[in-house]
Structure 1
Amino acid sequence: MPHPAPYAVRLTDEITRRLGQLADHLAQLPPPQAAQVIARTLDPDNGVLGGVTHLVATGSMFAKDQAGRGALPADVWLALGHASNALGDIALDMDEHIDTLQRIGAQPAATAARPPAPAPLVVRRRR
């Protein structure tokens, strides 16, 4: 049985390439379709963000095992655990906005009689 690592590396490269294509398409989509893509991407259960979070969490478990055996420095495990937690926090932050994005994505593009008023942009600082 062949070792699955070459397949996994090719799969990683393909996913990375496809994410780049998705970003290129997103930049060209009309607002309702872009909102749909963003909502699906950010879905913490079935979207790209949820998948990446799960992947990093799985990597953290691998690193923990390897650090326990002395094959990896504990810092690698801690960094992956931190990244996994941070991605989980981001997913939770974004989850509250998915309904809004889906609602915008469900609206027909040409139904607005007048364009929506721009919202003031506010920068919030985390403390």
Structure 2
Amino acid sequence: MSHPTPYPVRLADEITRQLGQLADHLSQLPPPQAAQVIARILDPDNGVLGGVTHLVATGSVFAKNLAERGALPAEVWLALGRASNELGDITLDLDEHKDTLQRATAAAKPPAPAPLVVRRHR
């Protein structure tokens, strides 16, 4: 008898599938919309990259606990810790470009409508 797949595993699979869809959509967007999507993905607090960084950091803590009990090789914990640190550094590096991405996003907004009738004073 097979065991049902736990919800967190199904959730991880679904997120992976949706990330693939997002990449497919991103590759087809016009540049202004692509800049808007990229800005949201790279947002260090609420974006995908920040979420993945947090997820890897959480995994590193879990792996440390397992390694301390001898249930996991210490190398796995160390690798997750390095990955977490590297992702954190990448997030900080990309955060420096947040203003540039926001300007590109702002440029993507349609201009305000201009009045078409000019009144003349006689």
TM over 0.5, yes or no? yes
Aligned amino acid, residue 60 of structure 2? S
TM-score, normalization by structure 1 = 0.80
How many pairs are equivalent? 107
Tell me the residue number matched to 1:93: 93
Tell me the residue number matched to 1:39: 39
Secondary structure in structure 2 of the residue aligned to 1:27: helix
Provide, for residues 35-79 of structure 1, a one-character-per-residue CA deviation record: whole Å limited to 9, x for no partner: 010011011111000000000000000000000000000000000
Note the residue ranges of structure 2 that are not aligned, 5 or more in a row: 112-122
CA RMSD of aligned residues (A): 1.5
Tell me the residue number matched to 2:65: 65
**Structure 2 residue 26 is the aligned partner of structure 1 residue 26:** yes
Secondary structure in structure 1 of the residue aligned to 2:44: coil
Distance 1:33 1:105 in 2: 7
Distance 1:23 1:17 in 2: 10
Tell me the residue number matched to 2:118: none
* Runs of 4+ that moved beyond 6 A: none
Larger Rg: 2
Provide, for residues 18-47 of structure 1, a one-character-per-residue CA deviation record: whole Å limited to 9, x for no partner: 000000000111111100100110111110
TM-score, normalization by structure 2 = 0.84
Distance 2:16 2:37 in 1: 17
